[in-house]
Amino acid sequence: MSGGSDSAIIKYVKDVADSLGQVCAVIGAQWGDEGKGKLIDLLAGEFDVVARACGGANAGHTVIVNGKKHVFHLLPSGALHPNVQVVLGAGMVIDVSTLLEEIEVLKKAGVDILPRLHISAAAHIVTQEHKERDAKIEEERSNKIGTTKRGIGPAYGDKALRVGMRMESNLQSPISNCLVSNIAEFMNDLIKNKKRILIEGAQGVLLDIDHGTYPYVTSSSTTVMGALQGLGLPPKVLHSCIGVAKAYCTRVGEGPFAAEIQGDTANRIRERGGEYGATTGRPRRVGWLSIPDLQYAALLNGFTCWNITKLDVLDEEKMISVEVERGRLGEFPGWQTSTSGITSFEKLPQQAQSYIQFIEEKTGIPALWIGTGPDRRDMIVKSI
Ligand code: GDP
Ligand code: IMO
Ligand code: MG
């Protein structure tokens, strides 16, 4: 059961929104699927523009409003707010058929996004051939990545080889009117005109092509620097950067995962957390929170605060492990009581409060947003 109401949470968000400044970025701090979409949806009403910068339809961002689920792959998760302009940046690789489908699904839900959609003409197009090549490379390689098969690697590969096709060559489609010839000028004009911009990161820091667990990564820059680059925004305009991390950790696809767990505990967390890919439906690998990974993500992005998500998923655990240093697990007593839908920090059980405070102390970053359920309203919002 959810304890809060939409109007209560919207008021809390309004109260703290000013502190986020004119430009705020939301960045995944683990291997993706941290719950970025939910936070973006919650914040978007306080911004004029929500912008995706990098990645493509490998992303799957889930938003639940009044029990209705929306999954975004290419469009930003702020799209449900009627007055928000939405941007797809130059760093993206866009599968036009997926985008058109997403636009259609929203239209059926009563949201006409076309009049407020702005797409960089320099974003690259993902073709059917890219998707086929992605699947074929996966099939043939010995160290499989476990890609989403959305054609991401081949599309970025062609871009780097300078043989890619850009959105500017897609002039027949219904989205041709949405193309922006110079996204850097467009975004910087918004800044000049005092518009507030919310940047929606995709994937997570540990999947970053430069700083992640290579080769088990995606093909784009998933950090805040990558996001600014993809939108043509200079770093000095950024005021705040929220790092999103689950209270535990998941990974979908192959690659190292030191605190991964198997067996009953993993199965329980997977089921309670609904840990199945929003894009591919694959069961996500499950493990404990890693403090060194959060510290690493924080140093790469300069997070100003955390959104710790899915605290409620740990409600049934007797003991909760955490990787406190590389290769060393520590144990915390669980709270074994429901935190579902709690909207104030003081109402959390003492052990849950201590758990959050431990993360804050170890990373030196305040957890101002704490997720206690999948719905928009299931969020603790703390002000500093
Ligand atoms: P994203 O890719 O970072 O946007 O995350 P996904 O949407 O792929 O996966 C996060 C999943 O967790 C979604 O199904 C959300 O509805 C759900 N979720 C987000 N925050 C919470 C939370 O605080 N508690 C619970 N139980 N679920 C959450
Ligand atoms: P969101 O935005 C979780 C993972 C894939 C694979 C690797 C490379 O929803 O958090 P790719 O198709 O990008 O070449 O796959 O990256 N991956 C994600 N995992 N969430 C995502 O996005 C992901 N996008 C890519 O599973 O391991
Ligand atoms: Mg996701």
Domains and CATH numbers, the chain: 6-381 (3.40.440.10)
Reported as a pLDDT band with limits 50, 70 and 90, residue 278 is confident
Do the beta carbons of residue 324 and residue 295 sit within 8 Å?
no
The response to whether residue 60 sits with its C-beta less than 6 Å from ligand 2 reads yes
Residue 129: pLDDT above 90? yes
Catalytic residue among 41, 61, 70, 158: 61
Residue 350: pLDDT above 70? yes
Rounded to whole angstroms, the Cα distance separating 277 from 284 reads 6
Kindly state the average pLDDT of the residues 111-118. 96
pLDDT above 70 as % of the chain: 99
pLDDT at 380: 96
Nearest one of 166, 221, 188 to 55, comparing CA atoms: 221
pLDDT at 2: 42
Q: Measure the N-to-C terminal CA separation of the chain; round to a whole number of Å.
A: 28
The Å distance, Cα 33 to ligand 3 centre, comes to: 4
Taking residue 271's Cβ as centre, other Cβ atoms within 10 Å add up to 13
Cα 101 to Cα 83, 95, 97, 230: the distances in Å are: 22, 10, 6, 24
Kindly state the average pLDDT of the residues 212-233. 98
The Å distance, Cα 186 to ligand 2 centre, comes to: 28
- 61: annotated active-site residue: yes
Catalytic residue among 6, 15, 18, 33: 33
Reported as a pLDDT band with limits 50, 70 and 90, residue 280 is confident
Best of 42, 74, 268, 310 for a ligand 1 pocket test (most atoms within 8 Å of beta carbon): 310
Reported as a pLDDT band with limits 50, 70 and 90, residue 41 is very high
Rounded to whole angstroms, the Cα distance separating 266 from 261 reads 6
Kindly state the average pLDDT of the residues 261-272. 97
Nearest ligand to the CA atom of 276: 1
Nearest ligand to the CA atom of 370: 1
Rounded to whole angstroms, the Cα distance separating 202 from 57 reads 10
Q: What is the pTM of this model?
A: 0.97
pLDDT at 14: 86
Residue 7: pLDDT above 80? no
- 130: annotated active-site residue: no
Reported as a pLDDT band with limits 50, 70 and 90, residue 4 is low
